[in-house]
A and B are shown apart, each in its own frame.
Chain A
Amino acid sequence: QKEVEQDPGPLSVPEGAIVSLNCTYSNSAFQYFMWYRQYSRKGPELLMYTYSSGNKEDGRFTAQVDKSSKYISLFIRDSQPSDSATYLCAMSAGNAGNMLTFGGGTRLMVKP
């Protein structure tokens, strides 16, 4: 079993819908939790990061971390066709020099 599990999708939603993406993990040492977006044939780009448990909001995006349940979520409000991409959760145990452990990615398609 992988350290970080993520539903691969694909997830297809109509434009304007609220999207919920999530990951579960098994390693209690993880402290930093990130969501990356990856367009086809591009490298991942950071959307949001959260330290420890709690919520963080940035525009249409909200990240939630529940360390007690080892569960993290990303919500996208008012989804747009340009949000169509693969969303990767990633985690690390510390700061500099700590490698990221990724989920397998969820492919999201937002239809106009």
Chain B
Amino acid sequence: GAGVSQSPRYKVAKRGQDVALRCDPISGHVSLFWYQQALGQGPEFLTYFQNEAQLDKSGLPSDRFFAERPEGSVSTLKIQRTQQEDSAVYLCASSGELGSPYNEQFFGPGTRLTVL
């Protein structure tokens, strides 16, 4: 079956532009996470959705970052007025059943954002 997909895979933006990054999770997965991975670093948590509800956005670095998942499936991460420090790979992950002892997070390939 299909895994997590993300688009675009690469995005180059001029400083100050707005960007939108899309994540298609594994069908039926309840939970969706966004992470930011700077070059040579591990991923860092941005935000978490359970179905359409955004339950944790504590990792969003500024109010320029906004995420939504309006129908509980596809999610979009939007970055307004991009800055050079926003350059990173943005990873999306989804996981399945609530209530089981462990829920593996399946990661997409990421969107590499470069802000010039």
Contact = CB atoms under 8 A, between A and B. Distances in A.
Contact of B103 (A36, A96, A101): A96
B47 to A, nearest CB: 9
Interface residues on B, range: 20 to 34
A104 B42 CA distance: 4
Interface residues of A, number: 25
Interface stretch (B12-20, B63-71, B77-85, B91-99): B91-99
A95 B103 contact: yes
Interface centre among B33, B42, B93, B98 (most CB of A within 10 A): B42
B43 A44 contact: yes
B101 A51 contact: yes
7 contacts: A43-B4, A46-B105, A95-B99, A97-B31, A99-B59, A103-B42, A105-B40
- Nearest 6 A-B pairs (CB), nearest first? A102-B42, A43-B107, A99-B45, A96-B98, A104-B42, A96-B103
